């Protein structure tokens, strides 16, 4: 099966700059900042924000950063500093179109739940949404603890704790409130910085592979650049070898990475990138932040 097949499945996910829709044209927009106040006297108060405030995870939402396909990113403040709050879309506004490719191979033991999800009932959509949020937390924790360059998750590691923040994911803001880190796709890099960023991006993909993961949407659109460090973001759809699409997703990631780096003057082919990733995956990884038992 070729990567072209995946391109068709994920048609709006195309990492090639010339073919990827910009956030400006994506509709409908996520909830606006004005509706996100946690003020209980405000009839428009957003219930997720109220809940996050009540739970003590945030004090306030500072600004809307970016509205994407699946979620809207906000800058917020919490007890441990600046927070990136990723608020997944209202169920009605989400298509769940891309989910299938990534979820293939997953076993759902609860038959009624499996039926609700397949039938896209409201309950089924809620379960899919919650699954997506919880997968993002679980992956962030796994990668963070293993020492990879990802934002630190700010709720958890117990799934009991992070399940309470659905449909939001809270993680540390990379950059500052005034200057959140740009994505590598929009960063201006000198030639030596571009080479350094490329090396880190390839190493990041290799670090994921060593742990058994393909990112599934790996390109400069999901890599942040801050103080000469690359940070991998957007990890809900990480897949393992249990997914029959694993090899295709991995190949597609390598192609997307190399294509999206062309604007920085690098022209490694997708094939060569994949070989380099596989070679590095056999080498040493980062030091774990937490020693797992």
Ligand X SMILES: Nc1ncnc2c1ncn2[C@@H]1O[C@H](COP(=O)(O)OP(=O)(O)OP(=O)(O)O)[C@@H](O)[C@H]1O
Binding site for Mg ion (CB under 5 A): 222, 234
- Is 232 among the residues that bind ligand X (CB under 6 A)? no
Decide which of Mg ion, ligand X, none touches 62; Cβ closer than 5 to 8 Å per partner kind.
Answer: none
What residues from 48 to 67 belong to the interface with ligand X (CB under 6 A)? 65-66
Decide which of Mg ion, ligand X, none touches 155; Cβ closer than 5 to 8 Å per partner kind.
Answer: none
Which residue is associated with the tokens 């919490």? 78
| Shortest reach from residue 256's CB to ligand X, in Å | 12
| Shortest reach from residue 234's CB to Mg ion, in Å | 4
Q: Residue by residue, what is the 3-state secondary structure of the chain?
A: CCHHHHHHHCHHHCCCCCCCCCHHHCCCCCCCHHHHCCCCCCCCCCHHHHHHHHCCCCCEEEEEEEECCCEEEEEEEECCEEEEEEEECCHHHCCCCCHHHHHCCCCCCCHHHHHHHHCCCHHHHHHHHHHHHHHHHHHHHHHHHCCCCCCCECCCCCHHHHHCCCCEEEEECCECCCCECCECCCCCCCHHHHHHHHHHHHHHHHHHHHCCCECCCCCHHHEEEECCEEEECCCCCCECCCCCCHHHHHHHHHHHHHHHCHHHCCCCCHHHHHHHHHHHHCCCCCCCCCCCC
Among 38, 146, 174, 232, binds ligand X (CB under 6 A): 174
| Shortest reach from residue 56's CB to Mg ion, in Å | 28
> Nearer Cβ to ligand X, position 69 or 263?
69
Q: Report the residue closest to Mg ion, judged by CB.
A: 234
What residues from 202 to 221 belong to the interface with ligand X (CB under 6 A)? 221
> Nearer Cβ to ligand X, position 221 or 246?
221
> Nearer Cβ to ligand X, position 7 or 234?
234
> Nearer Cβ to ligand X, position 67 or 116?
67
DSSP notation for 84-95: EEEEEPPGGG--
Among 84, 170, 206, 254, binds ligand X (CB under 6 A): 84
| Shortest reach from residue 271's CB to ligand X, in Å | 25
C-alpha 287/C-alpha 190 separation (Å) is 29
| Shortest reach from residue 71's CB to Mg ion, in Å | 8
Q: How long a stretch of residues is the chain?
A: 293
| Shortest reach from residue 55's CB to Mg ion, in Å | 26
User: N- to C-terminal Cα distance for the chain?
Assistant: 39
Q: 185 near 221, Cβ under 8 Å?
A: yes
Decide which of Mg ion, ligand X, none touches 238; Cβ closer than 5 to 8 Å per partner kind.
Answer: none
# residues contacting ligand X (CB under 6 A): 23
> Nearer Cβ to ligand X, position 62 or 174?
174
| Shortest reach from residue 147's CB to Mg ion, in Å | 22
Residue ranges that bind ligand X, judged by CB under 6 A: 23, 65-66, 68-71, 73, 84, 86, 151, 171, 173-175, 180-181, 183, 221-222, 224, 233-234
């Amino acid at each position: 099966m070729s990567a072209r097949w995946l391109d068709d499945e994920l048609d709006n996910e195309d990492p090639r700059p010339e073919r990827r829709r910009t956030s400006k044209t994506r509709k409908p927009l996520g909830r606006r900042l004005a509706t996100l106040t946690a003020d209980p006297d405000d009839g428009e108060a957003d219930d997720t924000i109220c809940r996050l405030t009540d739970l003590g995870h945030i004090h306030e939402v500072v600004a809307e950063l970016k509205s994407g396909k699946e979620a809207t990113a906000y800058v917020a403040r919490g007890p441990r500093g600046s927070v990136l709050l990723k608020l997944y879309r209202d169920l009605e506004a989400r298509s769940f179109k891309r989910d299938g490719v990534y979820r293939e191979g997953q076993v759902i033991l609860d038959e009624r739940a499996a039926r609700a999800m397949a039938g896209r009932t409201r309950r089924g959509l809620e379960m899919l949404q919650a699954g997506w949020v919880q997968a993002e937390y679980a992956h962030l924790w796994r990668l963070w603890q293993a020492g990879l360059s990802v934002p630190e998750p700010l709720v958890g590691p117990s799934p009991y704790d992070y399940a309470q923040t659905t449909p939001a994911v809270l993680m540390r803001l990379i950059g500052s409130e005034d200057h959140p880190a740009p994505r590598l796709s929009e960063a201006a890099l000198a030639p030596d910085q571009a080479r350094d960023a490329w090396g880190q991006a390839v190493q990041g993909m290799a670090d994921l592979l060593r742990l058994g993961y393909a990112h599934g949407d790996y390109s400069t659109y999901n890599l942040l650049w801050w103080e000469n460090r690359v940070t991998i973001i957007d990890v809900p759809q990480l897949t393992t070898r249990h997914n029959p699409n694993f090899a295709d997703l991995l190949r597609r990631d390598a192609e997307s990475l190399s294509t999206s780096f062309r604007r920085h003057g690098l022209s490694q082919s997708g094939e060569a990138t994949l070989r380099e990733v596989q070679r590095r995956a056999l080498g040493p990884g980062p030091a774990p932040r937490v020693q797992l038992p």
